[in-house]
Amino acid sequence: MFSRLIKPQTVAVLHNNAKNICTSSQRNAKVAVCGASGGIGQPLSLLLKQSPLVTELSLYDIVHTPGVAADLSHIDTFSKVTGYNGPEQLKDALKGADIVIIPAGVPRKPGMTRDDLFNTNASIVRDLAAACAEACPKALIGIISNPVNSTVPIASEVLQKAGVYDPNRVFGVTTLDVVRANAFIGHGKGIDPTTVNCPVVGGHSGVTIIPLISQCKPAVTFEKAALKALTERIQEAGTEVVKAKAGAGSATLSMAHAGAKFTFSLCRALKGEQNVIECAFVRSNITEAKYFSTPLLLGPNGIQKNLGLGQLSDFESELLKAAIPELKKNIQKGEDFVNKK
């Protein structure tokens, strides 16, 4: 009956599409989200569930994961969704993961800095990294939890102590800074933001966020005062959202978009796609800071090549100078947390 209603060519197309989905899905990734029930975790998991790049979605949180997983699992897309709740199920959640994305931990309230989250989030990231070291030591790990400038060194030290640290596989997710720069430039200049690419380097808080507007593609120009104002808006965009949410948390939806964008790039790189480039906060020898975000060429084993800073304008060189002492302090604080009794 069905085949009599549709043309043979259509059947062939459907058959080929199904074959493509099956073939590609076999090479696609198992992604674990730690903090999956949260403000970022839920919309991020929804976006990941919609992509054929993800074969298995493993959702971990300390609360509500069975409900989130049951809800998402009813969506008619390819990936299989499983929920894991509480520390006793953490290793099962991580087993076999190619990619682990970590948006676990508390967000800011108005008046707080990201560093004010350190006391709560440092131990959450430490414990999740320790579980990754045991359950999925080869996974690519993307850390969203703030303060990113410290949580990435924390995770790295934990993996190092466990003897499984590969600096090419640990990323602080700073994609939201790039997304914001692209949005503000695109809307400001009347260019489709999806066609704008402005690298943002450094770290992920205040003065450590360094937009490289001189390297934006397509090229854009601003008068001195406008350039300063735009740069400061990108640096303080997280605080803009925290203030607007008035106590109800920080960026979640734009972060879910940014987190999905970064995760899909990791998935494509894992599959062997060429020319996958993202900025992320990683172990680095580009500047005096031990961890630093720059554009990275991604490959099947994580960072394939650090593409560095490129040519900076005088204005951007000054921003870099201002960022380094703060970055070094944040990095040291993270390392000390793991190494000092």
> DSSP states of 46-89 as a string?
HHHHT-TTEEEEEEEESSSHHHHHHHHHTS-SS-EEEEEESGGG
Tokens 């049951």 locate to 70
Look-up: residue for tokens 């360094």? 210
- To ligand NAD, the closest distance from the beta carbon of 252 in angstroms equals 5
What gap in Å lies between CA 324 and CA 202, rounded to an integer? Answer: 8
**Is residue 334 close enough to count as binding ligand NAD by CB under 6 A?**
no
In the complex, the smallest distance separating the C-beta of residue 237 from ligand LMR, rounded to whole angstroms, is: 6
Q: From the CB of 230, what's the least distance to ligand LMR, in Å? A: 16
CB closer to ligand LMR out of 238 and 302: 238
* Closest to ligand LMR by CB, 111 or 310: 111
How many residues are there in the chain? 341
The entry of ligand LMR, ligand NAD, none that residue 196 binds, CB within 5 to 8 Å by partner kind: none
Minimum distance of ligand NAD from residue 221's CB (angstroms): 28
List binders of ligand NAD among 236-265 (CB under 6 A): 249-252, 255
Residue 166 or 326: the one with the smaller Cβ distance to ligand LMR is 326
Paired sense of beta strands 170-172 and 302-306, if any: unpaired
In the bound state with ligand NAD, the residue whose beta carbon lies nearer, of 117 and 135, is 117
- The CB-nearest residue to ligand LMR is 238
Amino acid at 120: T
CB 122 → ligand LMR: shortest distance, Å? 15
Phi, psi of 68 (to 5 degrees): -60, -45
Q: Which residues contact 278 (CB under 8 A, 6 or more apart)?
A: 175, 178, 261, 262, 265, 295, 296, 298
Q: How far is CA 17 from the centre of its chain?
A: 30
* Minimum CB distance to ligand NAD smaller for 148 or for 159: 148
Selected catalytic residue, list 15, 64, 187, 204: 204
Collapse the DSSP code of 338 into the 3-class scheme (helix H, G, I; strand E, B; otherwise coil) and give the result.
helix
Show the CA angle centred on residue 259, arms to residues 256 and 260, nearest 5°.
85
User: What residue ranges bind ligand LMR (CB under 6 A)?
Assistant: 107-108, 114, 146, 176, 204, 238, 241-242, 250-251
Q: 311-322 burial, b if ≥16 CB within 10 A, otherwise e?
A: ebeeebeebbee
209 binds, options ligand NAD, ligand LMR, none, Cβ within 5 to 8 A by partner type: none
Query: CB under 5 to 8 A by kind: which of ligand NAD, ligand LMR, none does 41 bind?
Result: ligand NAD
Per-residue x/- marks for ligand NAD, 185-224, CB under 6 A? -------------------x--------------------
Residue among 114 and 283 whose Cβ is closer to ligand LMR: 114
Gap between the Cα atoms of 60 and 68, Å rounded = 10
CB of 259 to ligand LMR, least distance (A): 11
Q: Is 204 a catalytic residue?
A: yes
Burial class (CB in 10 A: 0-12, 13-18, 19+), 125: buried
Residue 38 binding target from ligand NAD, ligand LMR, none, CB below 5 to 8 Å by type: ligand NAD
Token pair, residue 28, equals 């696609």
> Is residue 145 a contact residue for ligand NAD (CB under 6 A)?
yes
Q: Identify the CA nearest to 146 among candidates 182, 183, 103.
A: 103
Site for ligand NAD in 99-128 (CB under 6 A): 103-108, 117, 121, 124, 128
The entry of ligand NAD, ligand LMR, none that residue 242 binds, CB within 5 to 8 Å by partner kind:
ligand LMR
Which residues pair with residue 201 across a beta bridge?
210
Q: Residue 60's beta-bridge partner residues?
A: 34, 84
Q: So which residues are the catalytic ones?
A: 204
